[in-house]
Amino acid sequence: MKVIGLLGGMSWESSLEYYRILNETVKERLGGLHSAKCILYSVDFEEIENLQHEGKWDELTRIMVGSAQKLENAGANMVLICTNTMHKMANEVQNAIHIPLLHIADAAAEKVKEKNLKKVGLLGTKFTMEQDFYKGRIKEKYNIDVIIPDTDDRKVIHDVIYNELCLGQINEASRDKYKKIIESLIRNGAEGIILGCTEIPLLINQKDFKIPIFDTTQIHCLAAIDYALGNE
């Protein structure tokens, strides 16, 4: 079993889900007392969040590269960035280490392709929805069209992530708002929805909708287990 390197803490609420899913999946596949071999490097999210909203992406890249190198030096055989937004600097991180970085957007897009969908809606932080590092990658590599909510809805999604979900707060009113936003994306032609923030599955899941809902936390973890067990 290869050692999974987790670059987490963004937020620790979703990193907790990574740890749970990885270990539960290994136990399901191998049985007995088996669990995932993994190393976690967890950052201080207050520092990360401030730099994100100040637009200091060069400093964030330095932090992410250094953190990934720590995982490699500690013996990890791969790196998972346990957040969608910070894949903004995935290329820089990959170029600074000698082990593979398993990109969360690639893992999600592969699942979308399996269902032969051509157009999906994307929910995430404003950075993930509005910038091109995520949806552009999916379009260019997989020829899947990605649509995002309108300006007001993007603000709602972003604010709930940072002011509620990252603090472990689950509010029914916010769940209802997310559902309405997703329904709007469906009316605009979305055949599936990518939950492009690792906290959103704490609020929304497949049972809420008939169309496919792609939980990037779950998908990312399963891709890591496939690689760790040699099933990639």
Q: Is the pLDDT of residue 30 over 90?
A: yes
Given the residues 38, 82, 197, 221, select the one marked as catalytic: 197
Full strand arrangement of the beta sheet holding 4-8: 38-42, 4-8, 78-81
204 and 159 co-located in one domain? yes
86 and 120 co-located in one domain? no
Residue 121's H or E segment, with its range, is strand 119-123
- Digit-coded pLDDT (tens) for 56-103: 999 999 999 999 999 999 999 999 999 999 999 999 999 999 999 999
Residue 67: give the domain boundaries: 4-103+219-228
Given the residues 25, 38, 82, 83, select the one marked as catalytic: 83
Q: Is the pLDDT of residue 232 over 70?
A: no
User: Any catalytic annotation for residue 197?
Assistant: yes
What is the rounded average pLDDT for all residues in the chain? 95
Number of domains into which the chain is organized: 2
User: Any catalytic annotation for residue 83?
Assistant: yes
159 and 74 co-located in one domain? no
> Considering the entire predicted model, what is its pTM?
0.92
Report DSSP state, residue 101: B
Residue 38's H or E segment, with its range, is strand 38-42
Q: What percent of the chain has pLDDT over 90?
A: 93
Provide the terminal-to-terminal Cα distance of the chain, rounded to the nearest Å. 13
- Digit-coded pLDDT (tens) for 213-230: 999 999 999 999 999 999
Amino acid sitting at position 8: G
11 and 74 co-located in one domain? yes
Q: Is the pLDDT of residue 231 over 80?
A: no
9 and 72 co-located in one domain? yes
8 and 98 co-located in one domain? yes
96 and 29 co-located in one domain? yes
124 and 210 co-located in one domain? yes
Q: Which residues partner with 79 through β-bridges?
A: 5, 101
Residue 8's H or E segment, with its range, is strand 4-8
126 and 89 co-located in one domain? no
Task: Report residue 140's pLDDT band, with 50, 70 and 90 as the boundaries.
Answer: very high
118 and 76 co-located in one domain? no
Can you give the CATH number for the domain in which 19 is found? 3.40.50.1860
Buried b (16+ CB within 10 A) or exposed e, 25-62: bbeeeeeeeeebebbbbebebeebeeebeeeebeebbe
CA angle 141, 146, 148 (to 5 degrees): 145
